[in-house]
A and B are shown apart, each in its own frame.
Chain A
C-alpha cells in the first residue's frame, strides 16, 4: 500500500478536486512559488497557473472575503490562512458573512468554501503561531469544522469539504504534515460528520482530535501492555458532530477521557462531556468523565515549557490508567 505524508495527501486531494472541477481554486498567502508555508500547495502553481493558485497580499480579511464572494457566485474556493492564529484577522468575514448569509437570506444562497489552516504547537513558534482555535468556529451556526488526524483522513475529508455546499473550516496540524500513512491514489471521500473509531477497546473511551489521536493510540499501545484497553475515537468533524459512536462506546466502557490540544476552559472537550452526560450513556458511567487539554496559558517558546503546555502521550497514559483503575 502506498504511503505518503499528510501534506502530500492534502496536495493530492486539492489537485484532484481542481482537475475534476474548474470552479475549484486555491487562494492564500505564499501558496504559489513558495508552495505554502508548510508546503501543502508546492508545485500546484506550475500545474494550474496563477489564475487558480492565487498568491495574495498579506490581507487575511481580503482572502476570506474573496472566498465568500466567489462561493456566492458559483465557485468553490479553497482559502489558506497561513497559521490558525491569523484567523483572528478573518473573523468578521467567516463568522458574520460566510456562516450567516444563507440563513439571513432565507436559505436562498450558499457559500461552498473551504478555509484550510494549520493549528497547533510543538514547533517552537511561540504564542502567536501555535494556537488551536477550532472551538471558536464550533460555536458558530452555519459553519462546519473539520480536523483530520491522519494522511488518509486529510485527503478524504478535504475532498468531502470541497464538495460540501457550506463553509468548512478545515483545521490541519503542523506536526502532522510530515507524518505518513496509507493514502489511496483514487479520489475518495471521507464523509463529513462521521465519527471514526480508530482503535477498539473495552476499558476506557478516549475521544481525541487532530494530533491527539495518534498520541492516544500510542497511549493505548502502552496501556495494552498492562491489560488496559483504550477505545480511541476521533470525531474528525467537530461540527456538525456525529456523537452516536461516542455515546455507544461509553455505554460499553463506562469511562471516558476527552483529549485535545486547545485550552481546556471553553474547549471542545466540554461539549463531548456534556453530550455523554446528557445521553443514555450516563447510566453506564462508572467514573467521572475527564478532560485532558491545553493549559490555560499562551503557548510558550522554550521547548520544555511548550512541551508541558499541551497533553503528551504520558499524560494520556496516566489519566486513562487512573480512570481504568477507578482512581477518580
Chain B
C-alpha cells in the first residue's frame, strides 16, 4: 500500500469507488472515531496509572480500524456481541463515550451502573449486547440471537467480534456449525491481533488464515487487512447482505495488531520491541487511513490533524462527566441480580 511512505496510486484507484459511495462525511466520521478510540484507550491507561481505576483492562490501540470498519457496515437495530478487548467496538457502535468512561471508572452513571467495568460494557438499548470476559463466551450467544432474529422474521443481523484465541475454543466450533446448518444471520468477525495473551497464532494454529476454518462449516470465509477500515467495512457489508438475504453466516478474519500488552500485568516477554515498532511505524491504521483520505482529497491536512485534538477534547469531557458522577450507593448492592 505504501512505498517510501507514499500511498500508491493504484490503492487510491481501488478505493475510489468505495470512497465515492460512502461520501466525505461518513469517511471523516470513521477517521474521527478511530482517533477517539485511541484517545479513549490512552486515557484509560493513564487513569489506571493514576489509580483512578482498579482491576485490569485490555487496550485495543492499533486495532481501531477493525472496530470502526465493522460497525459502520451495519445498521440501526443490528446486534453486537464482543469480548474483553471491547472499548473500541463499543465506541464505534455509537455508544455514549461519557457513559463508557463512567463505567470504566465504576460510576453509577456508567452503562452498567459500575457493576461491569472495562470488560463488560453493554449498551442494551442500542442492541450492543455487551463485552464478554470469557474468551469465546459471546460466540454461542450469537447463535441464539441469530435464531431469535430468524424466528421474529426481522431483517436484523448479529455481529460477534472475538479474538484469535477464541477460535480455538470448542464453543467457536459448535457455534459456527449451528449457525451454518440453520443459516442464521450472524457475522463472525475474528479480530486476529496475533497473540492470545502470550500465545502467538503461529504456535496456536497450523493454518495460515483462521478464515479457512469457514470451509469446515461450508460458509464464506475471508481474511482482510484489519488495519484498513475500508477492507473491514467491505467484508462486513458483504457478510451482512448475505445474512439479510437469508443465506446464512460468514467468517471474517481481520488481521491486526495490538500495540499494548494483553492486560496490565503483561511484560510482553513473548515478542520483540522491533516487531511492535514495525507495526506502529509501517502499518498504523490511523496513519494509513488519514493518508488515504488526505491523498484522496476527502479531508484536508488541517482537518486530519485537528481530529486528534477533537478526540482528546471528547475524552476530556468524558472524564469530566465521570469525575462528576456519583459512585454506586452501597445500599443498591443487591439490585439487578434477578429480574
Give A57's nearest chain B residue, CB to CB: B177
Question: Chain A CB within 10 Å — which of B120, B134, B141, B177 has the most?
Answer: B141
Count of chain A to chain B residue pairs whose CB atoms are closer than 8 Å in the complex: 153
Instruction: Point out the residue from A25, A54, A93, A110 that lies within 8 Å of B339, measured CB to CB.
Output: A110
Residues 137-150 of chain B: 1 if any A CB is under 8 Å from the residue's CB, otherwise 0?
10111111111111
Q: Do A70 and B145 contact each other (CB < 8 Å), given the known contacts A59-B177, A107-B335, A109-B122? A: yes
Q: A56 to B142, alpha carbons, bound, how many Å?
A: 15
A284 to B81, CA, bound (A): 54
* Interface assignment of A2: CB less than 8 Å from any CB of chain B: no
Q: CB-CB contacts of A19-51 with B at 8 A, as 1s and 0s?
A: 000010101000000000000000000000001
Nearest residue in A to B110 (C-beta to C-beta)? Answer: A106
A62 within 8 A of B: yes
A104 is an interface residue with CB less than 8 A from chain B: yes
**How many positions in chain A have a CB within 8 Å of any CB in the partner chain?**
47
Q: Per-residue CB proximity of A84-116 to B under 8 Å, as 1/0? A: 000000001100110001111111111110000
CB of A77 closer than 8 Å to a CB of B: yes
Tell whether A68 is near chain B: CB-to-CB under 8 Å: yes
The answer on a CB contact under 8 Å between A59 and B122 is no
Inter-subunit contact A62/B143 (CB<8 Å)? yes
| Residue pair A107, B113 in contact (C-beta under 8 Å) | yes
- Interchain CA distance A110-B248 in the complex, whole Å: 27
Query: For chain B residues 104-153, which have a beta carbon within 8 Å of chain A?
Result: 110-116, 120, 122, 124-125, 129-130, 132-134, 137, 139-152
Question: Which residue in chain B gives the minimum CB-CB distance to A25?
Answer: B151
CB distance from A49 to the nearest CB of B (A): 11
A73 nearest CB across to chain B (Å): 4
CA distance in complex: A104, B124 (Å): 12
Given contacts A69-B146, A75-B151, contact A108 B141 (CB under 8 A): no
* Cβ-defined contact, B337 with A141, below 8 A: yes
A104 near B148: Cβ-Cβ < 8 Å: no
Given A57-B181, A70-B147, A74-B148, A102 contacting B141 (CB threshold 8 A): no
Instruction: Select one of A73, A102, A110 contacting B145, CB under 8 A.
Output: A73
Q: Which of A54, A61, A64, A96 is most buried by chain B, counting CB atoms within 10 A of its CB?
A: A61
Q: Which chain B positions have C-beta within 8 A of A97?
A: 132, 134, 137, 141
> B336 at interface (Cβ–Cβ under 8 A)?
yes
A104 with B130, Cβ < 8 A, contacts A69-B140, A109-B122 known: yes
Which residues of chain B come closer than 8 Å to A59, judged between CB atoms? 174, 177-178
> Contacts A142-B337, A166-B338: A104 and B120 contacting too (C-beta < 8 A)?
yes
Q: With a CB–CB cut-off of 8 A, which chain A residues contact B327?
A: none
Binary flags per residue of B318-339, CB closer than 8 Å to A gives 1, else 0: 0000000000000000011111
Cβ-neighbour of B336 out of A57, A64, A75, A102 (below 8 A): A102
- Report the count of interface residues on B (CB-CB < 8 A): 47
Complex: chain A residue closest to B143, CB-CB: A66
B170 at the interface (CB under 8 A from A): yes
For the complex, give the distance between the alpha carbons of A66 and B124 in Å. 18
B294 contacts the other chain (Cβ, under 8 Å)? no
Most buried by A among B125, B152, B178, B338: B338
B314 contacts the other chain (CB 8 A): no
Question: In the complex the two chains form, is B140's CB within 8 Å of A62's CB?
Answer: yes
Chain A residues whose CB sits within 8 angstroms of the CB of B148 once the complex forms: 69-70, 73-75
- For B129, give the chain A residue with the smallest CB separation: A72
Chain A positions within 8 Å of B337 at CB level: 102-103, 141-142
Determine if A165 is an interface residue (Cβ-Cβ < 8 Å): yes
Q: Are B151 and A51 in contact (CB under 8 A)?
A: yes
Assess the B339–A61 pair: CB atoms within 8 A. no
* A71 within 8 A of partner (CB): yes
Contact across chains for B171 and A62 when beta carbons are under 8 A apart: yes
Q: How far is the CA of A135 from the CA of B170 in the complex (A)?
A: 26
Q: Does A67 contact B (CB under 8 A)?
A: yes
Q: Which residues of A contact B130 (CB under 8 A)?
A: 101, 104-105, 109
**In the complex, A314→B122 CA distance in Å?**
54
**A residues within 8 Å of B by Cβ?**
23, 25, 27, 51-52, 54, 56-57, 59, 61-62, 64-75, 77, 92-93, 96-97, 101-112, 141-142, 144, 164-166, 240
Other than the given A69-B144, A92-B137, 10 more pairs (CB < 8 A) read A51-B150, A56-B178, A62-B175, A67-B144, A72-B145, A92-B134, A93-B171, A105-B115, A105-B116, A106-B336
Which 4 pairs show the lowest CB-CB distances between chains A and B? Answer: A69-B144, A65-B140, A107-B336, A106-B113
